[in-house]
Structure 1
């Protein structure tokens, strides 16, 4: 039977509902052989997950999902938010540490400002939100959503994000993120393997203009490949079917690693462990390229 390799999951260290230990337990129950832990802008869940996976027979790929942005070189361009998966980086790399600390610091300040705006129309305080953020976790909008849901304003995270927490809404405050090229270089400098997360959802903003002719799309991706981009997360529930075809063309052109993942968030999202997976051949390419840290089992 082929290995079940799911390389994208989250814990309470960012915006998932599970502790790292609970995540490992759920992955084992789901029959996952190789699990990637990729919390947003933090490696704080690594130690607990490493302890939990020991002796289980499952392999843990320690990773991170780094916030990044793309700003087109035209007057008045609006930054586009993108996410970059980094597999097996060295968590002690100074450049990676400095970047993630800066992102989390700005996320914290930004969240306070969003709560101040929301408090005008909703019964919510910063103390309530802060109490729900575990030590070392990356602050984010899901922590605000938790309080809004708990108080009965919304049924679930999806509804909260479609309402006052949407990225273009009146309560939104942007946070710092490095340019995508810089983020790729940060991951590579730490010995990690940089893979662009859910690149073509049709809803979220993308790293390039995917509506352009294929020649322009390839030229735009070439910039990131030259910076060290190693792969694309193509098999993801939020990528459109048409988008997957475009991404496959890009992957073939530049011989990029192709991954598939669930992007599991526990009870926070409907995504189920193992619903999309990575082939053993593509997984081996990640292992061959990574120099930052080792898989654990």
Structure 2
């Protein structure tokens, strides 16, 4: 099974993907995936539907979450930087995790309304239009604003929306609450899950998670998160800087971290293709063995 495609990062309409959890499972099956992880932003609401569909299609499923967190960036005067944390096989009823998800989602909703108020001064958009495209129970986020901007012809696609109007350093941006990274790691571990740093070399993570320059310094930086319970890093990801991934591989090897690869699939919302990066069977087994909060769905060919 060394050629098995194990994609451990995908989104559905439970957050900012374009497809239902069942549709994601169907696509995973059609693409020939061995296993896929459903990791919607700050919610577990897609798990039940995904489990049923995964069992139906015979595809493996690792139930998960992509938890919003933040870290302090020494290079910018300790201003917080957003960093996402993947959590696999967590207990969906763990009180600390549930409380944190509720708090984050509430702040996300308020933040989105404030962003729309700012945008409405310059563009023909209002909150009711944005609210209407957010599926019931889904985690609200900037992609939902982008959906309205695209429908109105203000931008061509999500990439253009995020590059300009919805940019994190743009005039319409409003930050939202997120726990510190070390606290997010602790919560996932306490919930029986396996915490893995998501695309640490991409837009939101740099430079606080940068591994360029002195690798020993990078090892020391990551060691602090390992001390809080970090178990892995997502290295195979299209947003990671390919010139730095060899350094991150050295950090992961030195610290004994699980290494994952994934697509970060969002359906039609992003160009990412299911299975474009994969996790090794050995690292997949480490996750399955370490996670105690919930159980995976094993593929029919297992």
Alignment: residue pair count: 296
Q: Distance in 1 between matches of 2:183 and 2:271?
A: 32
C-alpha offsets along residues 239-289 of structure 1, whole Å, 9 cap, x if unaligned?
122221111011111100011001100001111001100011110010111
User: SS of the counterpart of 1:68?
Assistant: strand
Q: Which residue of 2 aligns with 1:15?
A: 16
Aligned equivalent of 2:264: 263
**Equivalent residue runs for 1:222-237 within 5 Å:** 222-237=223-238
Distance 1:75 1:163 in 2: 22
What is the TM-score with the length of structure 1 in the denominator?
0.97
Q: Which residue in the other structure is 2:169 paired with?
A: 168
Deviation at 1:212, TM superposition (A): 4.6
| Residues 272-291 of structure 1: pairs in structure 2 closer than 5 A | 272-291=273-292
1:119 aligns with 2:117: no
Q: Which residue of 2 aligns with 1:131?
A: 132
CA drift at 1:73: 6.2
Deviation at 1:211, TM superposition (A): 3.9
Q: Could you tell which deviates more after superposition, 42-51 or 212-221?
A: 212-221
1:204 matched to 2:227 = no
Residue 111 of structure 2 corresponds to: 110
Separation in structure 2 between the aligned mates of residue 212 and residue 190 of structure 1, nearest angstrom: 35
The separation in 2 between residues aligned to 1:266 and 1:248, in whole angstroms, is: 29
Give 1:100's aligned residue: 101
Secondary structure of residue in 1 paired with 2:58: coil
CA distance in 2, matches of 1:45, 1:3: 24
Provide the residue aligned with 1:253 in structure 2. 254
Deviation at 1:161, TM superposition (A): 0.4
Please list the CA deviations of residues 167-186 of structure 1 after superposition, one character each: whole Å capped at 9, or x if unmatched: 00000000000000000001
Q: Does 1:65 align with 2:41?
A: no
Structure 1 residue ranges without an equivalent (≥5): none
String of CA shifts for 1:171-219, please: whole Å, max 9, x gaps: 0000000000000001101000000000112x33334343452121111
Distance 1:246 1:183 in 2: 24
Task: Map 1:30-45 to 2 at 5 A.
Answer: 30-45=31-46
Per the alignment, residue 217 of structure 2 pairs with 216
User: Are 2:30 and 1:29 equivalent residues in the alignment?
Assistant: yes
Extract unaligned runs of 5+ from structure 2.
none
* Inter-partner Cα distance in structure 1 for 2:229 and 2:243: 26
- SS of residue matched to 1:241: coil
Q: Distance in 1 between matches of 2:252 and 2:269?
A: 31
Moved more, 241-250 or 173-182: 241-250
**Distance between the aligned counterparts of 1:267 and 1:103, measured in 2?**
25
Q: Is residue 82 of structure 1 aligned with residue 63 of structure 2? A: no
Using the TM superposition, name which of 68-77 and 84-93 deviates more.
68-77
